[in-house]
Amino acid sequence: MKTTICFDFGNTRLKYGVFKNEEFIEEGVLENDLPETIELLLKKHKPQKTILSSVIKHNPEIETVLAAKTVFHKLSHLTQLNFTSAVGKPETIGADRLALAAAAVHFYPKKNNLIIALGSCITYNFINQYHQFIGGAISPGMDMRFKSMHEHTALLPHVQAEWNFPVVGYDTKTNLQSGVIAGISYEIDGFVNYYQSRYGNLNIILTGGDSMHFARQLKNKIFADAGFLFKGLYAVSEINNVKKAVAV
């Protein structure tokens, strides 16, 4: 059975996804990026291939471990992809955005794709029907908005998301929740409306840990897939690790 582990190191969590025979079977969160933590995961799943997407300064020793025990690829602007980029400086595109674009082209080819990823930041990623990554937008994520209002004011508390909030808040807590959660929902709907007005044959994917919650808040019909980035990493791994695997 062919096994691939995809690592996604973001600003808040170190996540991994396991694929067996192209089926996404498991995801989890690592406590740290120590080599011994990675080795325990490899011992458990015995993958033939691994791929790492990282937007942080992770422990470089884990790359040595992955390369020694598996056919390994690190996602970067040098990675062979299933799309091209019209961005002026492709080396500045985040590894997570590259993976999302790859997933869109792999699963929804020859369509205009808008992938909205809810993480520490919210990224809007547009790939046209000719498989060109055009760009998009980046805005503060939900937790960042809650935290910044608390840290940059004297009296506002740091509240947590509750999904049954009223749009018209009746106290400080619900006002903050409405401002952040409803505000993000209206922002997403606004971007979707803009892209829909400019591009036909538009496919919209919402991903990230809170994607299912936000999908219910939106006026537009959007396909929610929390594991979409992992699917992109798997597709990239299949492209870039095939020659290495043959060589091994």
Tell me, what amino acid is at 181?
Answer: I
Q: Is 96 annotated in the active site? A: yes
Spatial distance between the Cα atoms of 104 and 114, rounded to a whole number of angstroms: 8
Q: Are 61 and 35 in contact (CB under 8 A)?
A: yes
Residue type for 206, please?
A: L
Rounded to 5 degrees, φ, ψ at 180 are -80, -55
| Distance from C-alpha of 51 to C-alpha of 209, rounded to nearest angstrom | 21
Nearest Cα residue to 145 out of 111, 125, 122: 122
Sequence-separated (6 or more) residues with CB below 8 Å from residue 131: 82, 83, 84, 105, 109, 110
Instruction: Give the gyration radius of the chain's Cα atoms.
Output: 19
Q: Where are the beta strands (DSSP E) in 91-153?
A: 112-118, 121-127, 132-140
Give dist(CA 105, CA 97) in Å, integer. Answer: 13
Residue 228: both structure tokens together:
């979409």
Of 33, 96, 210, 225, catalytic: 96
Compute the distance between CA of residue 125 and CA of residue 93 in angstroms, rounded to an integer.
11
Catalytic annotation, residues: 96
